[in-house]
Amino acid sequence: PTVTWGVDIITHDVIDRDNILVCAETAMVNAVRKLAGDAPDYVLVDGKRTPPGLTIKCEGVIKGDAKCLNIAAASIIAKVTRDRMMLDAHEKYPEYGFAKHKGYATRDHQDAIRAHGGCEIHRKSFDPLRSWLAAGDNAPWKQKYVFREVTSLRSPPRGAQDAIRAHGGCEIHRKSFDPLRSWLAAGDSALWK
């Protein structure tokens, strides 16, 4: 038997406009339409819902990627396609670290958005970016210092250290604690100078 596959890409602005579920269903229908040769007789979909625009007989399979090799293969193709897109995005926007987190909402990714704001490919309808954009002038990337919950008293969180490296300490920073103490002792060679 011949193996074929189709992939469809929905852009960030369309996802923001139409919502992720509608876009996922649209992409599934479009991917089936892109299949080389004749249309399939039957389509298996990962999840409970089947796309309403699909005219071919189909079945939703909950946790389908764990139960069905065809769905698992489609999941791998989708993931590899997305990962490659994120590597391309990393070339254009290296400050966000897309090569590492592949666009998922990891702590590093959120820290990058806090520091730089969203770039043109970020989905502005997803939190935390949606909330931060709504904050206007109070958005994290418009603040000189970025603070987040401290989980250890031994050393400040990396985001705070990055802000101090970039701007120096402010009046509330304890100058008797490292790393700020060491950086201040460096004088003119301090990181922020």
What is the predicted pLDDT for the residue at 70?
92
User: Whole-angstrom Cα distance, residue 57 to residue 114?
Assistant: 45
Beta bridge pairs of residue 78: none
Q: Which amino acid is at 76?
A: I
pTM (two decimals)? 0.67
Q: Cis link prior to 157 (omega < 30° from 0)? A: no
Considering all CA atoms of the chain, what is the largest pairwise distance in Å, rounded to the nearest integer?
A: 73
Q: Confidence band (pLDDT; 50, 70, 90) for 4?
A: confident
35-82 pLDDT per residue, tens: 867 788 899 999 999 999 888 999 999 999 999 999 999 999 999 999
User: Whole-angstrom Cα distance, residue 174 to residue 159?
Assistant: 16
What is the predicted pLDDT for the residue at 2?
73
User: Whole-angstrom Cα distance, residue 58 to residue 147?
Assistant: 49
Under 8 Å between Cβ of 98 and 90: yes
> Which H or E run includes 150?
none
Question: ∠ CA(167), CA(169), CA(173), 5° rounding?
Answer: 150
Gap between the terminal Cα atoms of the chain: 66
Under 8 Å between Cβ of 97 and 108: yes
124-140 pLDDT per residue, tens: 888 888 888 888 766 77
